[in-house]
Amino acid sequence: MKKTSFYRWVNEKWRMRLFLFWKLPAAWFMGMYVVQCDAHMARVALPYRWRSQNPFRSTYFAAQCAAAELSTGLLGLAELQEMPPVSMLVTAVRADFYKKADRTLVFECKQGEEIAQVIHQAVTTGAAQEIVMESSGYLPDGTLAARVWIHWSFKRKSKNV
């Protein structure tokens, strides 16, 4: 699939919801959806519902990390569309939580250009490349509620495997 087709596909809510149901059912169950995805950034919304909350009436930390991962991972998936087979793997996660998340959060990652360079380097060299991607979660009023760092590793798959 071409990158332009990928972006069009990801930004159609019903197609992305179907993809989540099929490939990431936990994200589908929590009601995550893509707000915007392009070559520069991705925004993913995580509604505040009983499916994503903890017993303390705030959004469960793991749900926030999942939304952050999706916002970073979409940028990687988009870049891989016109590339030879590349494996992508989360190697670490770090998160800081600043405000109680008791409303819908929107996680935003603005590292589209950086991940494109890392993936290009992984494809051309054949060596594993790592990148730390930051996703910030905002409440509807613009308050920063969480910041999550996802460590991704990209490596071109060998032809023999």
Query: Tens digits of per-residue pLDDT, 50-100?
Result: 889 989 999 999 999 999 999 999 999 999 998 899 999 999 999 999 999
Range of the domain at 77: 3-156
The strand ranges marked E within 2-67 are: 33-37, 42-46
Residue corresponding to tokens 């993913």: 44
Residue 2's pLDDT band, with cuts at 50, 70 and 90, is confident
What CA–CA distance (Å, rounded) separates 137 from 121?
Answer: 29
Does residue 43 lie in a domain region?
A: yes
Strand 86-97 relative to strand 42-46: parallel, antiparallel, unpaired? unpaired
What CA–CA distance (Å, rounded) separates 126 from 159?
Answer: 11
Does residue 89 lie in a domain region?
A: yes
Quick one: tokens of 90? Answer: 């989360």
User: The pTM is what?
Assistant: 0.92
Residue 160's pLDDT band, with cuts at 50, 70 and 90, is low
**What one-letter code names the amino acid at 98?**
Y
Does residue 161 lie in a domain region?
A: no
State the CATH number of the domain containing residue 14: 3.10.129.10
Q: What is the mean pLDDT of the chain?
A: 94
Number of domains the chain contains: 1
